[in-house]
Chains A and B, each alone.
Chain A
Amino acid sequence: MSGKIRLSKSSIDDAEKQAVLEVLDNEFKELSSN
């Protein structure tokens, strides 16, 4: 950490990361070609 106070920052935390993993696991394996 640089100690810099940031102007803005994403609010994403672990809950969102878990949701992405679930999508990758459940839905992307079902994808088929156009």
Chain B
Amino acid sequence: MNLKNYLQTDMDVVCVNTGTSALHLALSALNIGIGDEVLVPSLTYVASYQAISATGATPISCEIKEKTFFIDIDDAKNKITSRTKVIMPVHYASSAKGIDEVYNLANENNLRVVEDAAQTFGSKQNNKFVGSVGDIICFSFDGIKNITSGEGGAILSNDKEFVQRIKDARLLGVEKDTEKRYNKERSWDFDVSHQGFRYHMSNIMAAIGLVQLTRVEEFRAKRQKIVQSYLINLETVKEVGFLDFNYEELISHIFVIKAEKRDELRAYLLKNNIECGVHYKPNHLLSKYKTNYSLPKTEKAYEEILTLPCHVDLTQKEQDKVVERIREFYGK
């Protein structure tokens, strides 16, 4: 089993050392740089933004849709300029619902699509694995992702020229070094014609990843059971809202609710020894990426979102406690 087999795709797969370097390498290989703009939703981990700004390009913060937290395509459309080269949708909480609209917009405006699918490995959209179709898709395999290689990432694409560029660039730009290493034909006599990085995936990381890959369906079953249990047991709590996902198609890396009195609830859960999180502080509120415009839907989401425990070692008893404490907080 390898990534290509698992994802049932003809796309080329290139493994790298982190999800962030996957994004940076992809943008670099598209020759994105100073003066270029990349459309990206503000509600994402700062890794998406750092990958863009590392090329010299400017991330253009876009709104999200209220129901799915996916990039708001109308807002993105309004932000297209002559400098826009790429749109980077982020599959928030493992869902790619809305991706078709992104490709329509990209096709109409001659944009490349770099999907930030860091949280999405193993999830499907329209019955197909995320990553099995599309322009450029970037996964992350860090320590707590759906599968992990310790740290790691992968880039998938059908663009052969692009794929050769990222294969070379992940190994310091040494031309055809990947192929030579596999054939044990490495030589001192090589050429470099483009900027490269030390972004390749090590053997140790790959070994971990290959074993994890054999366990994806085990992880899918466990994470889906956790999500279904939250959906069923919190359904009657009117102060709690869910994202409008096709959860049966997902392996949820994180489970996010929209909660009234979020900060008080979070404090109550923490007091009861229950870790919870906020994914994420919107990037347009960070000093480095501050905008001169607001994103009301994103800012509203930031006040409401709460991530509940979701991992393959979470027991039913632990999950019952999480639910009980939430119900208790709201007086149910």
- Flag if A10 contacts B148 (CB, 8 Å): yes
A2 touches B211 (CB 8 A): no
Task: Determine whether the beta carbon of B207 is less than 8 Å from that of A20.
Answer: yes
B208 within 8 A of A: yes
Residues of chain B within 8 A of A34, CB atoms compared: 186
Q: Is the CB of A11 within 8 A of B204?
A: no
Closest to B147 in A: A11
Please provide the chain B residues from 266 to 290 with a CB less than 8 Å away from any CB of chain A in the complex: 273-277
Interface residues on B, range: 20 to 34
Find out whether the CB atom of B321 lies under 8 angstroms from the CB atom of A5. Answer: yes
Q: In whole angstroms, how far apart are the Cα atoms of A7 and B186 in the complex?
A: 45
Interface of chain A: mostly helix, strand, loop or mixed: loop
Contact status A28-B203, CB under 8 Å: yes
Contact present for A5 and B273 (CB under 8 Å): yes
Alpha-carbon separation in the docked complex, A15 to B66 (Å):
41
Complex alpha-carbon distance, A8 and B274, angstroms? 11
Q: Given A20-B207, A28-B203, does the pair A8, B215 have CB atoms closer than 8 Å?
A: no
Within 8 A of A (CB), among B117-173: 143-144, 147-148, 150
Which one of B147, B219, B322 lies within 8 Å of A5 (CB-CB)?
B322
User: Which residues of B lie under 8 Å from residue A27 when comparing CB positions?
Assistant: 203
Against B, the Cβ 8 Å flags (1 = close, 0 = not) of A2-24 are: 11111111111001100110111
Please give, as numbers and ranges, the residues of chain A lying within 8 Å of B206 by CB-CB distance.
23
CB-based nearest B residue for A26: B203
- A5–B311 Cα distance when bound, in Å, is 10
Q: Tell me if B237 counts as interface (CB < 8 A to partner A).
A: no
| Cβ of B210 under 8 Å from chain A | yes
Task: Among A11, A15, A19, A23, point to the contact of B148 (Cβ < 8 A).
Answer: A11
Q: Do A5 and B309 have beta carbons less than 8 Å apart?
A: yes
Residue in B207, B211, B273, B313 whose beta carbon sits within 8 Å of that of A3 in the complex: B273
| Min CB gap B137→A, angstroms | 22
Question: CA separation between A24 and B309, bound complex, in Å?
Answer: 34
User: 5 new A-B pairs (CB below 8 Å) besides A7-B275, A19-B211?
Assistant: A7-B310, A12-B150, A19-B208, A19-B210, A27-B203
Q: Residues on B close to A: CB < 8 A?
A: 143-144, 147-148, 150, 186, 203-204, 206-208, 210-212, 215, 219, 254, 273-277, 307-314, 318, 321-322
Counting from the closest, the 5 A-B pairs by CB-CB distance are A7-B275, A19-B207, A9-B311, A23-B207, A8-B144
